[in-house]
Structures are given as C-alpha cells and as structure tokens.
Structure 1
Amino acid sequence: MSDLSRRSVLRGFGLAGLLAAASACGVPPAHIDAADRAARDRSAQDKKLNFANWPLYIDVDEKNAQKRPTLDAFTAHSGIKVQYTEEINDNDEFFGKISPALMNHQDIGRDLIVVSDWMAARYVRLGWVQEMDRSRQPNVTKYLDPLLRNPAFDRGRRSAVPWQSGITGIAYNKKALGREIKHVSDLWAPDLKGKVTLLSGMDEAFALLMQGQGVDVAKWTADDFHRMTDQVASLVHSKQIRRFTGNDYTKDLSSGDVLACQAYSGDVVQLQSDNPDIEFVVPQEGAELWAESLMIPNLAEHKSNAEALVDYYYDPEVAAELAAYVNYVCPVPAARDVLASSKDEDTAALAEDPLIFPDDEMRKRLVVARDITPEERPEFENRWNLIVGL
C-alpha cells in the first residue's frame, strides 16, 4: 500500500461549494426528481458494468498487478465483465468532473462510483444517484454493519452502500512521547507544543475536535462548530498546532517531526508495520466512524449488474479477502470469522486488529457524524479555511 489516502483534502469551494452557495442564495438547485433518475436497464443483454474507484483500494494479484482477484471471481461467477478504472483522486475534483452531466440529466458512462460519505450526501440531496433494489441484495441486508446502516443523509443506505470504512482518531509515537494519549485534550499538553498536526480538510477534521469538547456529533449545532473553531484558532495562535496536513501527516509522524496527530485508522495499520511504536487511539470522548460508499449514478445503463456487484462484496468471504488487502475498517463484521479461520498466521491475525474489526469496547465510542448541510457550508468553510490557511 502507498501512503495515498482515500480521504481527500478539501481544497476550497470548487464546483461543489458553488452549488451549495447558489442553493443558499435562493438559486434553484439542480435537483433531479426520483421519477427521472433511471434509464432503460441493459443489464440482462449487456453483461458488463463500469466501476470508478480510488487508486489502491482493491485487492491486486501479487504476481500480476493487472489482475484483481475478487473482481475476476465476480466475473467468473456472474458472467458480468467489469471495466474498472482508478480515476477518483479527490472528492471535489471528481464531483467537478461528472457534475455537469448529472446536472443536465446526462449519462456519465459509469454504473458505480465510490466517494466519501460527506460528498455522497451532496449527490443524494441533489437526487443525482439512484436507490438500489434491496431485494437483489440479500448480503447487504444481512451483513452490513449496524453502525453504518442509517446515516442522516441516507436512511437505510438505499443510495450509498459502504465500500470500506474507517475511523478518524489520534496517532502518536508512544515510545518517543513517553506516555499514553487517551483524550483529545491530551494533544494540547505543554510537552506537545509544536509537535501536533491536524487534518486540513474541514469535513475530515471537525467531528473529532467537537468530540473532544463533549459534543454528540450525530446532532451537533452551529454553536458547537464555532466553539470548536475558536479553540483551534487559539491553538494555532499559541503554536500548539504545528500545521494542518493532508495525508502527509504519515511522513511527519514517521520522521519524528510530530509526536501526535489527527489520523485515519487505515493509514496507521500500514505505519505500524514499519514502526510498532506508533499507536492509534479512539479517545475516551469518542471518534468519527466514516465510510466511502458505492453509488449508482442517474441514467446508469447497467443498474442491476451494479447492484449485483455491490451485494457480491458483502459476502463475508469476499469482504474478508478485500479487507485483508486494503486494511481499512471492514463494513462486514462477519468477515472477521472468515479471517480468523485462515491457516495463514498473518491473515488470521488481522481478525484481531481493532483497526479493521473494532472490538465491542471501541465500537461503543464510534459515531457517524451529522454531515454539513448546503446552507451551513459557505459560512463554516470560510471560517475553517481562514484558520487553516487554505
């Protein structure tokens, strides 16, 4: 695995921000009614689908980088050929790429896409993705993690089914620091002055920081947001925070330039393989559980084939194979038993890794945060970007 994160850094408004701002100013949003989202489904006679994903987010054959074992097995089982492209490098960038077509009710040439849930919420609100037929998805119905089933933007996960999940928490070098970190407030201790980094993306950063102030991020308010940003601004002024980062926090932590940082669980699994002194903690106040989700865009011509692929990856055997490769939080808890039964010791050990399968104690402290609404975004984004320097 490389250090490329699937959790993108928010880079200003972009087209997504412009749409949010336009909506807030009373300009009619480019919403598509449910009755106008479907095209004639060609799945039965056209056994294929186009699947757009992030780089390094699927299993790859060790001997042939062009082969993806789970996708190959899906084709062998179903007869459906998958055109798989690794074209999503940033949520906003991809949104800008496909939104003109979606806004104008045109087919984007992709049957399945994967984006972070904070961005998925925009597609759902705009009516740019279709609901899936759960009768075709018994595995999703049975095996989807209960913690991920009902985000505020998509109750029942009809439009956005998690591909992989993760936790935004705290990573630190326990040996170099010489003590444990248990609370978000521990980052503000004097011995960490100038040795702490936070994530620069507002959507990625805000929940953990609010949780450190005792906020229930499933139902946070504007006052909570401003109280959090006031604290962050003060910590920047006092030079407690070294800087704000994208995924390059991994380099800072590995080099020792920082001792503690806001981090993603999936990245830390990789860091720990090189440095066992790196710890990941879900603070006592809690941490954000997030997902990057599969969605079927409007007018996709192979909807049933796409629904079949989504359900295929919710088979615990398949989910286990994918989890063993990508090392993010698996949205299929039943895959844990599959890995645990492996005859390979390293593979079996993954079943006990709480950053892939959070244990019961950790799960009690994980929360899916309420997303930022289009009406809130312009004000909040402006405030955050002034602090971060974007």
Structure 2
Amino acid sequence: MEQYNTDSLSAAQIAAMRRSMANGRGALTRRSMLRASGVGALAIGGLGALNGCGIPPAKREDEGPASDDVSATEKHMTFSNWTEYMDVSEDEKSRPTLEAFTKRTGIKVKYTEDINDNVEFFGKIKPQLAAGQDTGRDLICVTDWLAARMIRLGWAQKLDPANLPHASANLSAQFRSPDWDPGRAHSYPWTGISTVIAYNSKATGGRKVDSVTQMLDDPKLKGRVGFLTEMRDSIGMTLLDMGKDPGKFTDAEYDAALGRLQKGVDKKQIRRFTGNDYISDLDSGDLAACLAWAGDVIQLQADNPDIKFAIPSAGYITSSDNLLVPAKARHKSNAEKLIDYYYELPVAAQLAAYINYVCPVEGVRDELKKIDPELATNTLILPDKAMAAKSRAFRALSSKEETAYEEKFAKLIGA
C-alpha cells in the first residue's frame, strides 16, 4: 500500500495541508458541516426542503429551461463552490488557475465559496429555480444526489459538447455515465469522493482491517469502529460487503443492510456514526477502524504514519461533486469554457495537487508527477485500473425512496 510522505512535498504544499487540518478541508468541510443527504438533511428539515415548499414533483426532462446566453458580449461569470475546493497561492492572495483562465480568455470569474452544505445551498437557490428565474450563478458544484435531483426537476441546463472538447476527451471512464445523468449531458465531475476503510495500525496491533465484515464482527475491534452519517456511504459499503450491487439494490436488500448495521449498534461493536469528525478519533486511536473519505486519509497520513487505508475486495463506494449550469443562467458558454479548462491536463493536475481528492481527469498522471512524484502514485488521488474496477456508485433514488431510506437510517444512527 502506498503511504503518503511529506518528505517530497514543497513547503507550500505542507503549509496548505496544515491550514486544511486546522481550518480548512480537514476541519470544516462539506462533509463535517453535514454533507447533507444523511443526518444533516433530516436534522434541518432537508427532506422537506427538497420535496415540499412549492417545488413540483421530480420529473425527468431532457434539459433545463433555456435562457438568453449573453456570454458573447459579457465576458464574466459567477461560480459557486465549496470552501477549500480551489487552489490558492502560497500567500493565499490569489487563485492561480482561475487567474490563468481569465488571462487566457478574458472571462472574469466571480468565485464565491458559499456552499457549506448541499441542502442549505439548495434552499438558497430553490425559490428562483422554482419561479423560473436566474439564480445569479452561472456554475455551481453540488454532490451527485443533489445534481440528480436538479436534473430531474429540469433545473440544470444541457451542456453543449462543442464547448467541451477537453472534458469530453479526458473524463475518466468510471465517471462517464452515471445513471442520473447518462452521457454527462448536464454535468461534469469536479472531484470524485472515494469511501474507503481507514485504520490506525497502532490501535489494531499492526493488523490490517479491510472489510466491513471485519469491522462488524471482529471482537478485537469492539467499541472502536466508526461508520458514516452519510447514508449512501454506510449502506452502500455494507451492501457491497453482502455481495449486493448498490447500483441495483431492492427495498429488501436495503433493509437487510440496515439490519446488519443495527446489529453492530446493538452489540456495541460500532462506537458511533460520524461526519469527518472521525479524523481526531482515528488519529488518537479511539477509533481503530472506520469508513473514511479518501481526501481526509491523505491529510491524516501526512502527520501520522500509523494511518493506513484498505480497499475491500468487495469494492468501495464512489460519489462525486459535480459542475452544473443552473436553469436560466445567463453566461452558459462562459461556464462551459471554464468546465473545459479544468479538464486540460496541466490545470487538472494543479487542482488535484492542492485539494487531494480523486481527480476525474484521465491521463493527468504525468502532469501531476511534475508537481509532486508522490502525489502521482497515490491511488486515493489517481485510482489505478485495479482500484477503479472496484468502484461502485449508489443508485439514484426516487423522492419516495429517498424519504423512506433516510428516515430509516436516521432512526438507526439516532438522529
């Protein structure tokens, strides 16, 4: 297993990691804030926000309502993204890749870090979308389940392939055709998010932990196991361990997976369900093993050599944060040019080197190697063929399924 080594990192990269652990991705990211389709969605009334309040029933449409695209005469656009999800200069006063885009194209980008949580953000833009109005944003980045919902509602514009030559050519195979957006007609991934098993080898006595079965049944791990408050990750990884496909499961199979986790709760095998606040418990050894997101594991390994990860032989769950052009956005072509720009190999490498999540751009390894050879061999950033083959996505849910499944899961985790 490759281990992340800070010896090969530049001072700027190490500083960025330290900032992240203190006040950035590792401390208050989209997951720790709620990553809200799980406990967060229910805790703040998110399912109601998604299903009620005057929103029409979810429906599949070929594309969102068209709007007058004024990109030809207005060389600017607005991009809403999560915090700590864009490269910054060492002095934190500029965003190098965005500035290079503006210099090349003349398109000025108003970049805002105003997404802290999917449900909260959707609540901001929902009234305008429901009324058929411009949200004031030309490009947004949301997690796949919310991207699916927006596409079904007809609230995302269909993208023009002619403006996306690099994206079309360089998109990694494992992200090419999700069931909620076949052929990526409306979206492109910003990053992939791999759910793996992380363990503290000191806390496990040097033993490897590489399956959900081991997490749930090994008596030596009792009371020191963590699962995630994100329903799709915890249920999805459990389904895989049971030999079921999280892309095709039935209600009965969902209930069986839920039952396995309930048994782990009842016999106190599972210590708790967490957002990415598992970081401190895993680092200290209070959690010997847990489900974890790959970007967090990379950052933990930079400080603690005892942190390891494993890809279960049964497979692992991959989700994604995705770029969409909202319905009625007025600078669609400008937004498409920005999407395509981030699929150019040198640009994709620069972004991946900073944010440390799965890069969805095929062929970026050589460019990433120029920045840092160690990053280019890290399979949590660039999955190799064997790892990519084990990747599975949680299937899209209907509104009815989403409500029912989340309510059952919330009861399990005590939300």
Fold shared, TM-score > 0.5 on shorter chain? yes
Picking from 85, 94, 99, the partner of 1:57 is: 85
Picking from 296, 305, 312, the partner of 2:334 is: 305
Say which is worse superposed, 7-16 or 27-36, in terms of deviation: 27-36
* 8 Å Cα contact 2:352/2:358 also seen in 1: yes
TM-score using structure 1 length: 0.94
| Pair 1:353-2:382 in alignment | no
> Deviation of residue 21 (structure 1)?
5.0
> Deviation of residue 350 (structure 1)?
0.8
TM-score using structure 2 length: 0.88
1:53 counterpart letter in structure 2: N
State how far apart, in whole Å, the 1-side matches of 2:154 and 2:136 are. 17
| Pair 1:77-2:77 in alignment | no
State how far apart, in whole Å, the 1-side matches of 2:93 and 2:413 are. 39
User: What is aligned with 1:254?
Assistant: 283
* 8 Å Cα contact 1:118/1:203 also seen in 2: no
1:34–1:365 distance in 2 versus 1, CA, 3 Å: closer
1:190–1:110 distance in 2 versus 1, CA, 3 Å: same
Deviations 1:63-102 (A, max 9, x none): 2x13100000000010000000000001111111111111
* 8 Å Cα contact 1:5/1:267 also seen in 2: no
1:253-332 to structure 2, matched below 5 A, reads: 253-332=282-361
| Pair 1:110-2:110 in alignment | no
| Pair 1:39-2:42 in alignment | no
Q: Describe the SS at the equivalent of 1:334.
A: coil
2:29 counterpart letter in structure 1: S
2:127 counterpart letter in structure 1: P
Picking from 262, 287, 309, the partner of 1:233 is: 262
Q: Describe the SS at the equivalent of 1:258.
A: coil
User: What is aligned with 2:248?
Assistant: 219
> Deviation of residue 5 (structure 1)?
3.1
1:50–1:352 distance in 2 versus 1, CA, 3 Å: same
> Deviation of residue 369 (structure 1)?
2.1
User: What is aligned with 1:89?
Assistant: 116
1:55–1:319 distance in 2 versus 1, CA, 3 Å: same
Deviations 1:121-170 (A, max 9, x none): 11111111011101110001100001101100000111121001121111
Query: What is the root-mean-square deviation of aligned Cα atoms in Å?
Result: 1.9
Matched pairs, number: 383
> Deviation of residue 20 (structure 1)?
5.8
User: What is aligned with 2:48?
Assistant: 18
Of all paired residues, the percent bearing the same amino acid is 44
* 8 Å Cα contact 1:31/1:128 also seen in 2: no
* 8 Å Cα contact 1:15/1:96 also seen in 2: no
* 8 Å Cα contact 2:158/2:185 also seen in 1: yes
State how far apart, in whole Å, the 1-side matches of 2:208 and 2:63 are. 54
1:150–1:388 distance in 2 versus 1, CA, 3 Å: same
* 8 Å Cα contact 2:315/2:390 also seen in 1: yes
Deviations 1:13-45 (A, max 9, x none): 45652266559xxx9527696676121111011
Which stretches of structure 1, 4 residues or longer, exceed 6 Å deviation after superposition? none
* 8 Å Cα contact 1:32/1:128 also seen in 2: no
State how far apart, in whole Å, the 1-side matches of 2:296 and 2:405 are. 27
1:199-214 to structure 2, matched below 5 A, reads: 199-214=228-243
1:32–1:279 distance in 2 versus 1, CA, 3 Å: closer
Say which is worse superposed, 205-214 or 129-138, in terms of deviation: 205-214
2:344 counterpart letter in structure 1: D
> Deviation of residue 378 (structure 1)?
1.6
Which stretches in structure 2 are left out of the alignment for 5+ residues? 1-19
State how far apart, in whole Å, the 1-side matches of 2:311 and 2:411 are. 28
Q: Describe the SS at the equivalent of 1:53.
A: strand
User: What is aligned with 2:9?
Assistant: none
Deviations 1:295-334 (A, max 9, x none): 0000001000000000000001100000011011100121
1:75-154 to structure 2, matched below 5 A, reads: 75-154=102-181
1:253–1:36 distance in 2 versus 1, CA, 3 Å: closer
Q: Describe the SS at the equivalent of 2:400.
A: coil
1:15–1:382 distance in 2 versus 1, CA, 3 Å: closer
User: What is aligned with 2:398?
Assistant: 373
State how far apart, in whole Å, the 1-side matches of 2:298 and 2:165 are. 31
Deviations 1:102-137 (A, max 9, x none): 111111100000011011111111111011101110
* 8 Å Cα contact 1:197/1:241 also seen in 2: yes
Q: Describe the SS at the equivalent of 1:166.
A: strand
Which stretches in structure 1 are left out of the alignment for 5+ residues? none
